[in-house]
Structure 1
Amino acid sequence: CYGCFKEERDALLQIKVWINHPSGEALPSWEDGDCCRWDFVVCNTTTKRVIQLFLGSIRDWKLGDLNLNTSLFWNLKELKSLDLSRNQLSPFPELNMNHYAGWCELKNLEQLYLSGNELVGVLPPCMRNLSSLLLMDLSSNQFKGNIATSPLVDLMSLQYLTFSSNQFRVPTSFASFSNHSKLKLISCDHNELITEPNLQISSASVFQLKFLSMSNCTSETGKPDYPYFLYFQHDLRVLDLSNNNFGGQFPYWLVKNNTRLKQLYLKNNGLVRGPLQLNYPVSNLSTIDMSSNYMDDEMLKTMCSVFPNLVGLMIADNHLTDAIPRCFENMSYLAYLDMSNNKLSS
């Protein structure tokens, strides 16, 4: 008796051969005895079924690219977490849906990590079968296609979704996710933003994020509008929109609508000069980065009264010329202040 089920043990041994192709030596403990005791394998203590595989960065990079073979995972039917990140996995072959059956039948899978590989093309349609997924990390690959028509929009259990550094097209309305009440984190930096006609989005939308990182995106026009769905968000805690060239004045409505917002990053967005258009203190914000914009002294004069509890303030590389306002002395929580590359007077 090997402790775990024979079909799962055999599957793990095949995965070992695959991950080491053609001459690697990873996973030396995957040899004898109870496979539930092997490194990087976690089994259910009661059923002895394999439920977690932690194989991130396990392949020797000197071995080169590794063709993806999802069929090896077919027999791990109770698998809940699979990490294959940073293993030089090469593209999904252009085959029929049966090629993906090994993953698409993992109905119990809750976490899937594929970041830092060399996967290209559109996501296979059968991925919508992964109905138990809570977390998916597709970042740092070369996936493409419109997110709004991808299988991701059908994964209603998703809580955490990151697909940064790909070639996805991301509609700024996020209308396809309007019913995703459980989704709380999206990271989609380094993709392409596309503008849709302003669709009807309810101010009481159940799609309410806590964390959104949408920095360094390209756009068809070169100067995109703020993502439309942001006007209907009211529970954000961290928001990063850096390096997108949105332009215009400081988006005061973001702060006004999201009373629990803690961190706001607006670096290099072409924000123009002028005072902050808020006439009351916003006590929740602890960090603001408005570096590399066109903000001027009018903005700086209103900073103390509008954001009195800041811990970190980055306003380097703007158009500041006056002395630092005396009111900054009253910002008792301020621990980090960067005003470099301005022309402040003494």
Structure 2
Amino acid sequence: MEQPPLLVTLLLLLSLLSARAFSATSPRVVVVTPTPAPVSSPTPPKNSTSPASPSLSPSSSPPSTPSSPSSSTLDPKQLRALQSLNIPTSKDPCTHPTQLQRNITLCDSSKPFSHLISLRILNCSDDVALSFTALKSLSTLQSLQFVNCPIAPISFPAELAESLRSFTCISSLRRLTGVWLSRLQNLTDLTVSNVQVNASGPFVILGNMKKIKSVTVSHANLTGFFPRHMNPNLTLIDFSGNKLRGRIPSSINRLENLLTLNLSSNTFNGEIPTTIGDLISLKNLSLASNSLSGDVPDSMSAIPGLVHVDLSSNQLNGTIPRYFTAMKTLKYLNLANNNFRGVMPFNASFISRLTVFKVGGNDNLCYNRSILSSKMKLGISPCDKHGFPLSPPPAKDSSEDDNSDSDYNDSDSDDTSRKDSHRGPNKYVLGVAIGLSSIVFLIIFLVLLSKCCR
């Protein structure tokens, strides 16, 4: 009569041990619910009274009671000039520069009234019109910027033209002429972008600017040739997105202080001048999307600090120079869509330290398969034993290139993921096997125990 309780006890023990063995070997799924981080309201910045740090955001200043224009520290003539340009003056433009929603003003510290030395006008409304009288009152300005103000330009008063040191016009003033810009003779910085400029060449604009150091005239439909003589103190030249033509002159070597040269998206032809190697201060060079031909000059190896080199979409030929590998500061190298030929001279360590590397679109260029992995996204074919591209490229490589988002990819992540996918099921099967073995063992033990108790 005592056997049934013993059997029941053993069966219960059997079920508990089986469940514990199964759960101990089965994979566990843990759901983690992220706790949202406490959101603290941003602390508004302190209202700065220094004219050197204006803010564009109208919400960054605490509300205050508007002051009357009569209490402004700005010269009354300049205050009226701002009003004629529909610039708010309920706040003092000198002591409350952050209150201006669409504009930035900087003032000097002269007494009894301050005077504007910098003015930026943003997003003009249709009813804004430049007034000669208003501009004459603003003749103390040293910096004047128009951004997204497609209003009609007028001739600047001589006093304002002489005072300006920086002039910026981006998507503004509808249409300009080279003669109009050339009157700003004392500029050190000129930026004109996305504005139609009617001029027969950059020299019409820059010929009389003896103090200019930085010039950007981009996407302006500018025609003509690259000037043979420019201010040697220039540190930046950006003539991108125009219709400039002809050769890049060898006299460019006189720009020994040049840091950035961007002549992309024009119609320059001929060879890259060998004198470009004399620009020893150059950091950024873009000659992309022109019609340049010939070899990449060896003299470029003499430029020690190049960081950005873009020679893509030209008709350059010959072999790719090996000296690029010796440029320790180089981070961006684009040689795509040219006529380069032969074996590419770069190894994996050089390519991996670049942020951007592109050589695709060179049909006669190939890479050494003993040096570079076929998994790298290069856009060119591997070389055969004679140093010529294999034709056509392997279909597998092209499909991998299409699915990759990086400039180069030599990882084995797919193989690793396959290996990991097999590890999970193996553990699961092992747990089930252990559980079943425990059940069989306990059944045998139960049978033997019941026989012993008889």
Same fold (TM over 0.5): yes
* Counterpart Cα distance in 2 of 1:115 and 1:287: 27
Does structure 1 residue 265 correspond to structure 2 residue 304? no
Answer yes or no: is the 8 Å Cα contact 1:289–1:313 preserved in 2. yes
The one-letter amino acid of 2:359's match is I
Higher relative contact order (CA 8 A, sep 6+): 2
The one-letter amino acid of 1:190's match is G
Counterpart among 236, 247, 250 of residue 282 in structure 2:
236
The one-letter amino acid of 2:143's match is S
Superposed CA RMSD in Å reads: 3.4
Unmatched 5+ residue regions in structure 1?
17-26, 93-98, 330-336
- 1:338 CA displacement: 5.1
- 1:263 CA displacement: 0.8
Change (3 A) 1:313 1:324: farther
* Counterpart Cα distance in 2 of 1:264 and 1:108: 37
Answer yes or no: is the 8 Å Cα contact 2:301–2:324 preserved in 1. no
* Counterpart Cα distance in 2 of 1:55 and 1:192: 29
Does structure 1 residue 41 correspond to structure 2 residue 105? yes
Counterpart among 169, 178, 181 of residue 114 in structure 1:
169
- 1:228 CA displacement: 7.9
Counterpart among 222, 235, 248 of residue 294 in structure 2:
248
- 1:229 CA displacement: 6.5
- Could you say which residue in structure 2 is the equivalent of 1:290? 335
Which moves more between the two structures, 37-46 or 77-86? 37-46
1:8-28 superposed Cα distances (whole Å, 9 cap, x missing partner): 101111111xxxxxxxxxx4x
Answer yes or no: is the 8 Å Cα contact 1:125–1:150 preserved in 2. no
- 1:214 CA displacement: 0.7
Change (3 A) 1:225 1:166: farther
Unmatched 5+ residue regions in structure 2?
1-70, 382-391, 398-454
The one-letter amino acid of 1:113's match is T
Answer yes or no: is the 8 Å Cα contact 1:43–1:52 preserved in 2. yes
TM (norm. structure 2) is 0.58
Alignment of 1:305-320 (within 5 A): 309-319=353-363
Change (3 A) 1:183 1:228: same
Does structure 1 residue 191 correspond to structure 2 residue 242? yes
- Could you say which residue in structure 2 is the equivalent of 1:13? 83
Matched length:
304
- 1:213 CA displacement: 0.9
Does structure 1 residue 150 correspond to structure 2 residue 204? yes
Answer yes or no: is the 8 Å Cα contact 2:283–2:305 preserved in 1. yes
* Counterpart Cα distance in 2 of 1:209 and 1:244: 21
- Could you say which residue in structure 2 is the equivalent of 1:20? none
* Counterpart Cα distance in 2 of 1:125 and 1:15: 21
Secondary structure of the 2:281 match is coil
Answer yes or no: is the 8 Å Cα contact 2:248–2:272 preserved in 1. no
* Counterpart Cα distance in 1 of 2:90 and 2:332: 53
- 1:341 CA displacement: 7.0
Does structure 1 residue 32 correspond to structure 2 residue 71? no
Answer yes or no: is the 8 Å Cα contact 1:71–1:100 preserved in 2. no
Which one has a bigger Cα radius of gyration?
A: 2
- 1:265 CA displacement: 0.3
* Counterpart Cα distance in 1 of 2:225 and 2:89: 48
1:184-203 superposed Cα distances (whole Å, 9 cap, x missing partner): 0111012223437967x496
Change (3 A) 1:231 1:125: farther
Change (3 A) 1:303 1:228: closer
Secondary structure of the 1:271 match is strand
Secondary structure of the 2:197 match is strand
Answer yes or no: is the 8 Å Cα contact 1:105–1:130 preserved in 2. no
The one-letter amino acid of 1:123's match is G
Change (3 A) 1:267 1:9: same
Change (3 A) 1:68 1:296: farther
- 1:272 CA displacement: 2.3
* Counterpart Cα distance in 2 of 1:207 and 1:9: 44
The one-letter amino acid of 1:15's match is L
Secondary structure of the 1:162 match is strand
Structure with more of its chain in helix, by fraction? 2
* Counterpart Cα distance in 2 of 1:327 and 1:103: 65
- 1:171 CA displacement: 2.4
- Could you say which residue in structure 2 is the equivalent of 1:59? 124
